């Protein structure tokens, strides 16, 4: 999958317990890459996608209104809140 066409979405919770959703093209992601996901048991869209410090993921986020794929990452706190 062409990383230039993907929207990378990062979900966190701010100090007021509100969800923050930030979206970046690959070249503008401000977070530290810690590796890539090499598992073969995940959907093909997630294979070889980057992993980021302090975020869980990659996760499949579907497609936006323009048909661009969304690769999603969540902070541990956001993941725990969304998983309840």
Check pLDDT > 80 for residue 1: no
Q: What is the C-alpha separation between 45 and 69, in angstroms, rounded?
A: 9
Q: What is the CA radius of gyration of the chain?
A: 13
Q: What DSSP character marks residue 49?
A: -
Q: What is the pLDDT of residues 10-25, one digit of tens each?
A: 999 999 989 999 999 9
Q: With 0.95 as the threshold, say if the pTM is over it.
A: no
Q: What is the pLDDT of residues 63-75, one digit of tens each?
A: 999 999 999 999 9
């Amino acid at each position: 999958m062409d990383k230039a066409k993907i929207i990378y979405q990062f979900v966190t919770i701010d100090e007021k317990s509100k969800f923050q959703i930030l979206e970046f093209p690959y070249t503008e992601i401000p977070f530290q890459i810690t590796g890539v996901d090499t598992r073969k048991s995940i959907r093909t869209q997630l294979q070889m996608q980057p992993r980021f410090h302090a975020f869980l993921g990659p996760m499949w986020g579907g497609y936006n209104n323009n048909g661009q794929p969304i690769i999603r990452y969540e902070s541990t706190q956001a993941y725990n809140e969304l998983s309840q």
